[in-house]
């Protein structure tokens, strides 16, 4: 699949649910209204959609949410998709999680063919963790990370940089992650959805974070890639990698190789644009995939050059009205 700007689409991110057992302050409002369960694709339909993309050239699948591991029967989907690893049609099947369910599922994920996961973790301070996630338990997440590592999963930590919240802890999180053998990626808060607050108060440019890290570490640019938008450096003192995802200070659209599928079958060709394609209708219209394939081709032909994210006082509720949990975080 080649988009209008010559970019090969080889990476599909799939939100299996919009539900989450946390309510992170930069991601959701405290009192969320989630989609009715009847609107969600079945696990079998998600499998069929993912398989259509694999057949058309996708080499990497990332399962996301919401929190993917709270979806009932989730491991059935993971095991079903693992057959594409066995056939070599897929290079990687991976997962982004908040870690709350990892102690329960880490071994099953590895057995199904998952080898690498991303864990969202914004602080190592239990009290601050509770404030940021509203409902989360840090000890449970850390136990999940331990279980993942024991099961043989490679762990990367994702941390959202939040002004006035965790910014003084970010260098210490690098030290902790590298001490555990984990890569760590920092992410600028993205202007998506109503969060009951002003995003300009949260926004911390990663150019500033990197400058602060440079006072503690020698940072060397490296060409390491994981298929996503992060740009990586290596900290000479620890030997570990640090990634930066910068949708606002330096967008990453020129090399975009991905599209996002929601749990209702809506395909977003760009995280930061509202244009989308309904794949549920052609999926359910026929057991033959010709209508579905045609809808995918038409959608990829509309993929835009880049996003329009802006953080500003007059746009404090975000460039996108939908929440990240709906799109697939």
Residue ranges of the annotated binding site for GTP are 13, 62, 96, 156, 258-260
Task: Please give the torsion angle defined by the CA atoms of residues 245, 249, 250 and 252, in that order, rounded to the nearest 10 degrees.
Answer: 40
From the annotation, which residues make up the binding site? Answer: 13, 20, 24, 26-27, 62, 66, 96, 120, 156, 190, 253, 256, 258-260, 270
30/34 Cα distance (integer angstroms): 12
Which ranges of the chain does DSSP label H, i.e. alpha helix?
A: 43-55, 74-81, 83-86, 102-111, 126-133, 138-151, 170-179, 206-213, 280-285, 290-300, 324-327
268/322 Cα distance (integer angstroms): 12
Nearest by Cα to 251 from 234, 275, 271: 271
Q: Are 3 and 303 in contact (CB under 8 A)?
A: yes
The angle subtended at Cα 196 by Cα 192 and Cα 198, nearest 5°, is: 70
Nearest by Cα to 61 from 75, 74, 73, 47: 47
From residue 36, alpha-carbon distances to 41, 77, 264 in Å are 11, 20, 10
54/35 Cα distance (integer angstroms): 27
From the annotation, which residues make up the binding site for S-adenosyl-L-methionine? Answer: 26, 66, 120, 190
From the annotation, which residues make up the binding site for [4Fe-4S] cluster? Answer: 20, 24, 27, 253, 256, 270
107/99 Cα distance (integer angstroms): 13
The angle subtended at Cα 247 by Cα 242 and Cα 253, nearest 5°, is: 100
173/170 Cα distance (integer angstroms): 5
């Amino acid at each position: 699949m080649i988009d209008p700007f010559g970019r090969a689409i080889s990476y599909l991110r799939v939100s299996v649910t919009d539900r989450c057992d946390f309510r992170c302050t930069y991601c959701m409002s405290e009192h969320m209204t989630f989609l009715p369960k009847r609107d969600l694709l079945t696990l079998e339909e998600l499998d069929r959609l993912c398989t259509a993309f694999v057949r058309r050239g996708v080499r990497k699948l990332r399962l996301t949410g919401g929190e993917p591991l709270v979806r009932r029967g989730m491991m059935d989907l993971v095991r079903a998709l693992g057959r594409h690893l066995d056939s070599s049609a897929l290079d990687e099947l991976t997962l982004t999680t908040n870690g709350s369910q990892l102690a329960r599922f880490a071994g099953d994920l590895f057995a199904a063919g998952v080898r690498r996961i991303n864990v969202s973790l914004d602080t190592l301070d239990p009290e601050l963790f509770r404030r940021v996630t509203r409902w989360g338990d840090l000890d449970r997440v850390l136990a999940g990370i331990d279980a993942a590592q024991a099961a043989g999963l490679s762990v990367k930590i994702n941390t959202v940089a939040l002004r006035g919240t965790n910014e003084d802890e970010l260098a210490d999180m690098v030290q902790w992650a590298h001490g555990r053998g984990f890569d760590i990626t920092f992410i600028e808060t993205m202007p998506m959805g109503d969060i009951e607050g002003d995003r300009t108060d949260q926004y911390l440019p990663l150019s500033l974070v990197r400058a602060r890290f440079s006072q503690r570490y020698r940072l060397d640019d490296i060409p390491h890639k994981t298929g996503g938008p992060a740009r990586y450096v290596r900290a000479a003192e620890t030997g570990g990698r640090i990634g930066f995802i910068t949708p606002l200070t330096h967008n990453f659209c020129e090399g975009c190789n991905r599209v996002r599928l929601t749990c209702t079958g809506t395909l977003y060709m760009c995280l930061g644009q509202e244009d989308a394609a309904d794949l549920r209708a052609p999926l359910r219209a026929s057991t033959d995939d010709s209508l579905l394939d045609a809808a995918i081709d038409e959608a990829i032909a509309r993929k835009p050059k880049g996003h329009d994210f802006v953080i500003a006082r007059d746009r404090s509720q975000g460039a996108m009205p939908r929440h990240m949990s709906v799109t697939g975080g």
